[in-house]
């Protein structure tokens, strides 16, 4: 397929985005809808999810929704089963839901550890497992979209140490690895599997962002090599590309939307414009 201006459109496709009430999830759900997809959404934040649903519908798209905790496997399975009665296929799945808290690994108790694992890894596998039959149907559907796409939102922390966020980082690394494995296992069903690894993205109510801002307050170092702050829309833009046919030969990879953080590898940019230092 030769790319053209129509190639980026997602008209007629169906998508599911977890954690769509705010931040990256909300921005991604709305971006997919703006490019033509109907978008099913879920989150445990009911009032904010309603706002996302209203905005998707205002774009003329369908927006089935559920208020649920993705760590509740039974609730996820029940909703996707219900969704399958309305939609007999999916072309796009965005596993966005996740989160955590700051604590040295040795100070995380058993309950907290289990919660971090469930929220950042286990539920990604569970949601994917529930959706694969619908994605397989979408991949071979009559509209000729050339395959389905799973997009896992990981983190730059999946690719480096995460002091204070060790279990969170380890689970994001597990998702990055699982992304590669599923890309191979699902290839024959024409389901592509990729990940997006952002650095800190401003999100209302996100404790990570507050802690990062406090840590940098009063320092002379920039948060990222790129001189502008990243936003949820930057991640959503990458998701739109991975969702559509322009990336139809891309699978098993991670797109780093981090303003150069991973590439910096310890190099720091002074805010006063001085030379980079290690």
E strand spans, 113-262 = 148-153, 191-198, 254-257
β-partners of residue 194 are 151
Q: Is 168 a catalytic residue?
A: yes
Q: 214 in helix, strand or coil?
A: helix
User: Environment class of residue 129 by beta-carbon count within 10 Å: exposed (0-12), middle (13-18) or buried (19+)?
Assistant: middle
Distance from the Cα of residue 55 to its chain's centroid: 19
Displacement of CA 193 from its chain's centroid (Å): 12
Calpha distance 78→126 (Å, rounded): 12
Q: How far apart are CA 140 and CA 117, in angstroms?
A: 33
Q: Which of 53, 28, 60 is nearest to 237 (CA)?
A: 28
DSSP sequence for 32-69: HHHTT-EEEEEES-HHHHHHHHHHHHHTT----EEE--
Contact 110, 117 (CB under 8 A): no
Under DSSP, the state recorded for 198 is E
Active-site position among 35, 79, 168, 208: 168
Task: Give the residue numbers annotated as catalytic, written as ranges.
Answer: 168
């Amino acid at each position: 397929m030769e790319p053209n201006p129509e190639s980026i459109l997602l008209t007629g496709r169906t998508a599911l985005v977890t954690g769509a009430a705010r931040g990256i999830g909300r921005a991604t759900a709305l971006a997919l809808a703006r490019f033509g997809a109907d978008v099913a959404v879920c989150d445990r934040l009911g009032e904010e999810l309603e706002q996302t649903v209203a905005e998707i519908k205002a774009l003329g798209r369908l927006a089935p929704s559920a208020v649920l905790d993705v760590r509740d496997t039974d609730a996820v399975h029940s909703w996707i089963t219900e969704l399958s009665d309305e939609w007999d296929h999916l072309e796009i799945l965005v596993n966005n839901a996740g989160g955590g808290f700051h604590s040295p690994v040795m100070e995380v108790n058993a309950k907290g550890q289990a919660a971090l694992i469930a929220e950042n890894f286990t539920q990604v596998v569970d949601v994917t497992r529930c959706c694969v039959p619908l994605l397989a149907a979408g991949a071979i559907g009559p509209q000729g979209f050339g395959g389905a796409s799973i997009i896992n939102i990981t983190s730059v922390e999946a690719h480096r140490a995460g002091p204070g966020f060790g279990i969170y980082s380890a689970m994001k690394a597990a998702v990055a690895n699982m992304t590669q494995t599923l890309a191979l296992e699902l290839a024959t069903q024409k389901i592509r599997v990729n990940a997006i690894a952002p650095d800190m993205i401003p999100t209302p109510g996100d404790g990570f962002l507050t802690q990062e801002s406090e840590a940098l307050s009063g320092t002379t170092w920039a948060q990222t090599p790129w001189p502008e702050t990243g936003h949820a829309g930057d991640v959503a833009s990458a998701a739109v590309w991975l969702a559509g046919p322009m990336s139809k030969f891309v699978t098993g990879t991670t797109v780093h939307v981090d303003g150069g953080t991973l590439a910096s590898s310890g190099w720091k940019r002074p805010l006063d414009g001085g030379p980079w230092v290690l």
